[in-house]
Chains A and B, each alone.
Chain A
Amino acid sequence: MNKNIVATLLVTGLASLALAEPQTFDFKDPKGVNNAVFNLDAPLEAITGSANGVSGTVKFDAEKPAATTGTIVVAAESLHVPNSMMKEHMHGGQWLDVARHKEISFEAKELKNVKTDGNKTTAEAVGTITLKGVSKDMTVPVTLTYLKDKLSLRVPNLKGDLLVIRSTFTIKRSDFGINPGAPTDKVSDEIELTLSIAGAAAK
């Protein structure tokens, strides 16, 4: 009898240990909904566009959200503005040079000031952003929403969880050598980035 109890406890303990492992969420969205919006608000001109070529992985543990790490990558080629000529210039060598610098990435190394309320966690992600070959350490605000067992609602026949990440922060194009000589009254030096992405962890 005692042996059975010990065995049951052992199995339960091992199972809970296994459950405590962080899940890896894949942000390559088959629905193509994930996006990063950029906004440059100069006195003479406002430029708004978006990118949907999002990929990357994030390790997240619902029990320990502070231990979240991962990398989100945006394909530079997927950056789009509604004016085709402007898009051509933006992709060109003077601006983003997407032929040479194919990826824009943010590597989150740790989370600070973590606050969790239900399935929502707000924090500051400390990491490195790489844009046009220039890497810069940054701390950005993030909101993580853990949607347990919701993967099947998006991808039928697939069971698992979803993790939604939202973040809005500002970078300076001059910091990344994006045509630093361009007049700031026409093209703002400050770029506001808004990331809205969902990752999936299948079970």
Chain B
Amino acid sequence: MKRTRSILQSLSVIIIVSAAVVWFAFGANEGWTKTSKPVKTVDEVTGIDGITYEEGFFPGIDFFAAAVLLSGLLFSVRFLLPKQNKVKTKQQKT
């Protein structure tokens, strides 16, 4: 049981750290997660900014929030698990 608690704790830390790294690496976008990004190219004759979209995954604040939630959930589950040592000592007393 102690091993499970330790795994859950490690997982929650890994998730939140990984999500933070990914989110910051993509520019810490405070908007929603995007599946395409606008790219502007100026037409030299008319001066118009042409807009095309680059496909990809660009994580937003919702991505980071979901990671924080999942991490918190795993960390909370850790506290719900019975502490084996205390049970043993109680059994030993009786």
- Assess A83 versus B32: contact at CB under 8 Å? Given A147-B46, A162-B45, A198-B46: yes
Cβ 8 A contact of B31, one of A34, A46, A162, A196: A46
Residue of B nearest to A155 (CB): B45
In angstroms, Cα B91 to Cα A180, docked, is 65
Does A37 touch B at the CB level, under 8 Å? yes
Chain A: minimal CB distance from B69 (Å): 19
Contacts of B47 in A (CB 8 A): 164
Does B35 touch A at the CB level, under 8 Å? yes
Residue of A nearest to B54 (CB): A82
Q: A84–B48 contact, CB under 8 A?
A: no
Chain A: minimal CB distance from B44 (Å): 8
* Interface size of A in residues (CB-CB distance below 8 Å): 25
How many of chain B's residues touch chain A, expressed as a range? Answer: 10 to 19
Does B25 touch A at the CB level, under 8 Å? no
In angstroms, Cα B47 to Cα A40, docked, is 25
Q: B50–A32 contact, CB under 8 A?
A: yes
Query: What per-residue 1/0 map shows which CB atoms of A1-44 lie under 8 Å from chain B?
Result: 00000000000000000000000000000011111010000000
Cβ 8 A contact of B58, one of A31, A82, A86, A154: A82
Does B36 touch A at the CB level, under 8 Å? yes
Chain B: minimal CB distance from A191 (Å): 17
Q: B50–A35 contact, CB under 8 A?
A: yes
Q: B36–A82 contact, CB under 8 A?
A: yes
List which A61-89 residues lie within 8 A (CB) of chain B: 80, 82-84, 86
- Assess A198 versus B48: contact at CB under 8 Å? Given A46-B31, A82-B58, A83-B33: yes
Residue of B nearest to A33 (CB): B50
Residue of A nearest to B43 (CB): A33
In angstroms, Cα B47 to Cα A52, docked, is 16
* 19 CB-based A-B contacts, threshold 8 Å: A33-B48, A33-B50, A35-B48, A35-B50, A46-B31, A50-B38, A80-B36, A80-B53, A82-B34, A82-B36, A83-B34, A84-B36, A147-B46, A154-B46, A162-B46, A196-B48, A196-B49, A197-B48, A198-B48
Which residues of A are at the interface with B, using a C-beta cutoff of 8 A?
Answer: 31-35, 37, 45-46, 50, 52, 80, 82-84, 86, 145, 147, 150, 153-154, 162, 164, 196-198
Which residues of B are at the interface with A, using a C-beta cutoff of 8 A?
Answer: 31-38, 43, 45-51, 53, 58
